[in-house]
Amino acid sequence: MSKALKIAFLIHAAVGCLLGIPLFLLPGRLLEWVGWKPIDPIISRLLGAALLALAWSSFRGSRATEKSQLVILQEMEAVFTVLGCIALLRHLLFAPYPAMVWIVFAIMLIFAVTWIVFLLRQWRQQVPPS
């Protein structure tokens, strides 16, 4: 595994924990603080749980030794972040949301591009030159 991929996994794990823990434990307080209303505590806690699960898988990815494990984790991370970007952008383009939502979108977009770049590199290495 490249050092850059390991660092990407660790950064993703840290961001997942930083956002996941407060969403899981105190969704109302966190989302009110950033100006995101109305708040659905059930969905917010589920999102916190999902972010914590992704953080755990990213941590495990940073310690993985087999390429097959890495590819599965990278694909899952890429799918989640791309779909998350699409979902957020659909709302951001048609309704006014606080700046924090745009920041979350930007973070997800950065991770989506990161995972896609690493996947393309890995796929390129697997294809024998013709």
Q: Are 77 and 12 in contact (CB under 8 A)?
A: yes
pLDDT digits (tens, 9 = 90+) for 39-67: 788 888 999 999 999 999 999 999 988 88
Cβ neighbours around 118 below 10 Å, total? 21
Residue 1, SS3 per DSSP = coil
Cβ neighbours around 93 below 10 Å, total? 7
Q: Find out whether the peptide bond into 38 is cis, omega within 30 degrees of 0.
A: yes
* pTM for the full predicted model: 0.82
pLDDT digits (tens, 9 = 90+) for 17-37: 999 999 899 888 777 777 777
